């Protein structure tokens, strides 16, 4: 589905059911807390539907857990998409908070961009509530997957990054000096290891 209407990637309805039952709530009670019909909750739990990321955040808040409670266990490095879902944000939300277009953020999340600037890395770390290393690694996971897909399709231009046309917005202020969007000092303004972001 397009336009941000896609369900949260990796959503596990059985986990929602377990957390709801542990909270001693009926489907009707949970539905009332998020202002939805109980059939919606039943569809989520039975795997007939997956909630959008913003609804996933509502479910998590209503049950007093993190949105990641409803995702499969994941060891290792998280992609930018997973970091965004764990934060309970839509692509449009991340883009707006980061001061970039949705198209630009979507290209970064898909791995279409070969690298991200240090300023974009710091901003995304602040928006997603993670450190800059998680953003750099998440983008590299997405980039590797994008290159693998391009290699399989035989598109050398995509694999080489020729299709990467997302440019940085030169009018956007660095978040470490911006008064409009000051990031927390403990995450976004950490020094970037040499060679991680170019």
Query: What is the pTM assigned to this prediction?
Result: 0.59
Token pair recorded at residue 180: 């409009």
CA distance 97 to 147: 28
Does residue 143 carry a pLDDT above 70? Answer: yes
Maximum Cα–Cα distance for the chain, whole Å? 54
Q: How confident is the model at residue 190 (pLDDT cuts 50, 70, 90)?
A: very low
Average pLDDT value for the chain? 77
Q: How confident is the model at residue 123 (pLDDT cuts 50, 70, 90)?
A: very high
Give me the mean pLDDT over the 13-20 stretch: 90
Does residue 155 carry a pLDDT above 90? Answer: no
| Cα-based distances in Å from 82 to 24, 79, 142, 185 | 28, 5, 10, 23
pLDDT > 90: what percent of the chain? Answer: 39
Q: What is the pLDDT of residues 24-62, one digit of tens each?
A: 999 999 999 999 999 999 999 998 998 988 898 899 999
CA distance 123 to 184: 10
Q: What is the CA radius of gyration of the chain?
A: 18
Architecture label for domain 13-70: Orthogonal Bundle (1.10)
Query: pLDDT at position 6, please?
Result: 64
Does residue 8 carry a pLDDT above 80? Answer: no
Query: pLDDT at position 191, please?
Result: 41
- For domain 74-198, the question of CATH label 3.40.30.10 is answered with no
Domain ranges of the chain: 13-70, 74-198
């Amino acid at each position: 589905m397009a336009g941000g209407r896609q369900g949260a990637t990796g959503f596990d309805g059985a986990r929602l059911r377990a957390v709801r039952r542990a909270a001693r709530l009926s489907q009707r009670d949970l539905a009332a807390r998020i202002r939805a019909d109980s059939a919606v909750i039943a569809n989520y739990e039975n795997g007939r539907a997956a909630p959008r990321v913003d609804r996933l955040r509502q479910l998590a808040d209503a049950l007093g857990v993190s949105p990641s409670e409803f995702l499969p266990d994941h060891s290792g490095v998280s992609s930018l998409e997973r970091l965004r879902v764990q934060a309970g944000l839509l692509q449009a939300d991340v883009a707006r908070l980061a001061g970039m277009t949705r198209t630009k953020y979507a290209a970064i999340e898909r791995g279409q961009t070969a690298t991200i600037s240090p300023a974009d890395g710091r901003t995304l770390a602040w928006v997603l509530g993670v450190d800059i290393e998680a953003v750099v690694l998440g983008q590299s996971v997405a980039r590797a997957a994008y290159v693998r897909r391009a290699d399989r399709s035989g598109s050398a231009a995509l694999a080489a990054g020729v299709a990467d046309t997302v440019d940085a917005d030169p009018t956007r202020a660095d978040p470490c000096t911006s008064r409009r969007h000051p990031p927390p000092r403990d995450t976004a303004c950490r020094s970037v290891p040499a060679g991680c972001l170019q």
